[in-house]
Amino acid sequence: MKTYLDCIPCFFRQALAAARMSSEDETIHRRVLNSIALMIPDLALSATPPEIARQVYRVVYEITGNSDPYYETKNSANQAALSLYSRMQDTVDYSNDPLLTACRLSIAGNDIDLGAQAEFGSINSIIEDSLVFDLDQKNYTKFKENVAKANLILYIGDNAGETVFDRILIEQILQIKNLKIVFVVREKPIINDATFEDAIRVGLDKVATIISSGSDAPATILSQCSSEMLSLYQSADVIISKGQGNYESLSGRSENIFFLFKVKCSVIARDSNLAIDSPVLTHS
């Protein structure tokens, strides 16, 4: 997906938010914004939004000297989501269609996103919200059929805290079939995206093999990924792509990809032809 002009104000908003998380010094905040402004004339709008976001956050980290400003926020999200783990298990177990409910929860967990939005609401409310929205039945049926036939699933994660909701879906998939699931995290901290440390903290290593993408971009930019990641990407029977960033970088490709996310901005709403706040389960 290309970058739209509407994305440019969002880059400034994200840069300022990250700078404020790193420092209370408004002089530093101004330096960050000035540096981002200098980048604007040379931005290639043919690049995906995450490719540009990666450049933006590198500027923020260099100027502020803080390469992980959302560290505490990620820890809080992990802990809050883990506190709901048993409740989510019960919600899935007692539902009429456990896999569908697990998909809904996984998608609802995508609300824990500090890139697309300045803050997320109560994690407690995410469970309730997930029970009232509908998913495209045709795409869900296709997802269920593909999972049942798969031997290897590559599950590309998104945000810290959200990974607990992903764990619920992975556990349900393993109830259907004993197969290999590889969960992909970011190589280094960026925004509140999940790293290897975050995945371990929520117990994903108990249900999946965890690997790094090899890239610190807030998405899956294949040209920047490790050979291990690319090999798994090419050999996976099913790829599950979580979040807007991964949708922005992988939409339009021909692999067997299922995108699970919430629409959180006007650009994605326009590209997906869906309203903001819509839950999405769609197939490449």
Distances (CA, A) of 187 to 41, 106, 190, 192, 194: 29, 22, 9, 13, 9
Average pLDDT over residues 179-192: 96
Q: Does domain 71-283 have CATH number 3.40.50.10880?
A: yes
What does pTM read for this prediction?
0.93
Flag the least confident range among 107-121, 155-169, 199-213: 107-121
Cβ contact 45:3 at 8 Å: yes
Over residues 47-97, the pLDDT tens digits come to 999 999 999 999 999 999 999 999 999 999 999 999 999 999 999 999 999
Q: How confident is the model at residue 16 (pLDDT cuts 50, 70, 90)?
A: very high
Cβ contact 190:57 at 8 Å: yes
Please give the structure tokens belonging to residue 110.
């995508």
- Residue 116's pLDDT is what? 54
Query: Whole-number mean pLDDT of the chain?
Result: 92
Task: Name which of 223, 134, 133, 204 is nearest 163 in CA terms.
Answer: 204
Please give the structure tokens belonging to residue 57.
């956050």
Please give the structure tokens belonging to residue 176.
């259907």
Long-range contacts of 135-138 (CB under 8 A, 24+ apart): 135/100, 135/103, 135/104, 135/107, 135/279, 135/281, 136/281, 136/282
Q: How confident is the model at residue 181 (pLDDT cuts 50, 70, 90)?
A: very high
Is residue 244 pLDDT above 90, yes or no? Answer: yes
Over residues 128-176, the pLDDT tens digits come to 777 778 899 999 999 999 999 999 999 999 999 999 999 999 999 999 9
